[in-house]
Structures are given as C-alpha cells and as structure tokens.
Amino acid sequence: MIDIQKIKNQFPILNETVNGKPLVYLDNAATSQKPISVLETLQNYYTSINANVHRGIHTLSQLATEEMELARKKVQHFIHAKNDYEIIFTKGTTEGLNLLAYSFTSQIKAGDEIIISYLEHHSNIVPWQLLCQRTGAILKVIPMDGNGILQLDFLERNLSEKTKIVSVNQISNALGVINPVEEIVRKTRAMSDAKIIIDGAQSAPHFRIDVQQMDCDFFVFSGHKMYAPMGTGILYGKEEALNSLTPFHGGGEMIATCSFSETTYAGLPFKFEAGTPNVGGNIALGAAIDFMESIGNEVFVSHEHQLLEYAQEKLSGIDGLHIYAERAPRAGAISFNLEGIGIASDVGMILDKLGIAVRTGHHCTQPIMDFYSIAGTVRASFAIYNTFEEIDILSEGLKKAKRMLS
C-alpha cells in the first residue's frame, strides 16, 4: 500500500482552507499543485543560480546551462525519446501546437488535408484553422459517438496522399476519454505520409509515455499539469521531423550565424528556442519528473484508476446525475451534470463554498458541448494526492447542491 497522506503532505497548498473548509482540490486537469521539491528547486534557482543560459562564460551561467540541460535529459528519459536534442522547451501545450502549425506553413499547400478529432481542446483546433486560412488546406474532423468514442473508420475513408498532418489528443481533457493513439498511428502510417502529432497534455501526468513505441512524429505536453511550474511545457519531435520544419520564433539563441544578408540556424534543439527560456521553470520541471519517478508510474496508474472507479461508483449512485462518456475507456477525469440543473457553474459555486475545487464550463472544448447540446459540464479531475475521502466529500457536496438547486 502506498501512503497517499505522506505524498499529500509534500504539497503545502493542500493544507489550506477555502471558505473555512479544508481544500479538496479536484481541478487537476486544469493545473496540478506543486510539491515542496519543485517549489524549492525554483526558489533555489533564483536565490543561488539565476543567470542566462548558453551565453556567459561565467560560473553561474554555466551552472544554469548545465542544470537546464540536465532537465532536458530528464524529460528525454521520461518520454523515452531517442535523443535529448529532440526535446524543445516551450511554455505549454498551446505554444507547442502553435509552433508546429506555424512551422509547417511552408510545407502545406491548397487542397492538402489536416485531420484532427472531435475531442480536441481549442488549442488543437484553432492553430490548424489558422494554418488552413494561410494555405488553403482543408481541416477534417474524426467524428465521435454518444459515448465519446472516436469513429476510426473515418480514417479509412479519409486518409490519402493529401493528408499532411494528423493531430489528436491521447486523453480528452473534457471527458477523460482515452483515445486509441496506437491504432490512429498505425492506420495513418498505412495510408499516408502524414506527420502525426499527439497532444499529451492529459496523458503525460498519468501514463507512462514512450514516444518511440508510440511512433508519433511529435508529442506535446504542459509541465504545469504534471506538478511543474506554470509557463513550462515540452515539444518533442523526431529528429528528422523537427529538421524538416522552419523555425517559429526568430531571435537570439536560435542562430548559427546572423548578418543582414543571411542568417543560418542553430541545430536542434536551439533552432526552436529563440530568446531567453524559462530557465528556473525548466529546471523545476526536471524536479517534477524526479517527484513522479520517486513514486513510480505503476503507482500513479493504479491509484488514479481506483479514484476514477470509486468516483464513477459514488456519483452514479446520485439520482439524476448524468456522467458523460461513461462507457468509454477513461482516465484522470469524470465529467457530469445534474439533470434539470441547467448551469454547471451553479453546482461549481456551491461546491466551492464547501472547499471543493472542480472545473465547470466548456473546458475549451466547445464542439463537444455542442455535440451533447449543453453549455458545459462539471468536471472532477484527479492527481496522485487525491483520496477516496475527498470523493466522498464531493459526493455529499453534489447531493447538497442538488437539494439547493432543484
């Protein structure tokens, strides 16, 4: 048995009270809390290392560079990338996806096709719409059924030599649905030369990630959803896939030579890291990975799976509570509404009074809400420090909300 309380004690914020009640933090799909080791790494960086990287010969600059490059190696091992220079530091999933959509521009022409899915976050929709506007490419969407399961026969009918990009998430942030990315990769490879992008914002915090086994070309995720500071994120790309792209941002750090007549670019990863990076944050992302690895991925998967099962059992026992994507394989989150109560935020407000933090609304996935003809849902999402007692508190809170609102 793992001692969840011991893990929980490493998170100072989880001892706080909210509205006079102990905090029950169930909004981890929006951002996770940070353990002391991550907070101390960040503070230690600013109190005793702070210097710009790759630029100075002086001791602190070298130390900052070494620490950040060590964090890059930790990320490499965390997702099992082949080379450390395939790891690009970004400020989050959104930046990673926008970087890709922009950098692909010169390879895409009118009539080319880009495939995403119905379950995407706005940040895996809008950058592709913008790319289509720039180039005349066409955006196609893998449909889903009422259970939130993607209809992959769509791929057989739509993949062709025209398909240039397939970009899907591994776990839906709105519903917690696990998408069969291995099957999507296999089908895509069999029928096209498309580059495959996986949005791992919701899977990296929960699953063991092996980008080589997955055989995707790119994998993007956010540090802040996996115990690291805000403003951190990763874009992984296979070496040849990254090399085929033009840079997103131009500036310092990303050049080999620069004159007014010609500029040549630095090699990977620096070609995609213009300007001063979030050095302290990136180093603290390394500490977040250390934290996760000190517990072990099997423990994460099993504890978070048990939390979800328990929440499913408790919440489905509440009369009139409707859970979305109930029959789909899910991880990390449960999304629901109380029947007859039109506004999810009313439920969220009552829960907040009880110290319970959940997310309500469209979760940056308006197409999914349109699919179900709803404005939003209530979403409870889990991390390693959540307990079964907290789900009991949520369940009681929902019963109270139901009494008050109906």
Ligand X SMILES: *Cc1c(COP(=O)(O)O)cnc(C)c1O
Which positions are annotated as active-site residues? 364
Q: How many residues make contact with ligand X (CB under 6 A)? A: 12
By the rule CB under 6 A, 202 interacts with ligand X? yes
Q: Quick one: which of 166, 138, 172 has its CA closest to 152?
A: 166
By the rule CB under 6 A, 28 interacts with ligand X? no
By the rule CB under 6 A, 148 interacts with ligand X? no
The per-type count for the chain, helices as H runs and strands as E runs, is 14, 17
Of 86 and 199, nearer to ligand X (C-beta) is 199
Please name the residues in contact with 93: beta carbons below 8 A apart, sequence gap of 6 or more. Answer: 121, 123, 199, 200, 201, 220, 221, 222, 233
Of 117 and 192, nearer to ligand X (C-beta) is 117
User: Does the CA dihedral 34-36-39-41 come out positive or negative?
Assistant: negative
By the rule CB under 6 A, 335 interacts with ligand X? no
Amino acid at 261: S
By the rule CB under 6 A, 121 interacts with ligand X? yes
By the rule CB under 6 A, 360 interacts with ligand X? no
Answer for which of 28, 33, 123, 377 binds ligand X (CB under 6 A) is 123
Rounded Cα distance between 143 and 151, Å, is 6
167 touches 124 (CB < 8 A):
yes
Shortest reach from residue 199's CB to ligand X, in Å: 5
144 touches 150 (CB < 8 A):
yes
* Helix (H), strand (E) at residue 141: strand 138-142
Shortest reach from residue 93's CB to ligand X, in Å: 3
Residue 84 buriedness (CB in 10 A; 0-12 / 13-18 / 19+):
middle
By the rule CB under 6 A, 278 interacts with ligand X? no
User: Coil, strand or helix: which one is 43?
Assistant: helix
Shortest reach from residue 278's CB to ligand X, in Å: 13
Q: Which of residues 90-109 bind ligand X (CB under 6 A)?
A: 92-94
Answer for which of 222, 282, 337, 386 binds ligand X (CB under 6 A) is 222
By the rule CB under 6 A, 228 interacts with ligand X? no
Of 94 and 282, nearer to ligand X (C-beta) is 94
Q: Which stretch binds ligand X (CB under 6 A): 13-21, 110-118, 199-207, 308-316?
A: 199-207
Where on the chain is the footprint of ligand X (CB under 6 A)? 92-94, 121, 123-124, 169, 173, 199, 201-202, 222
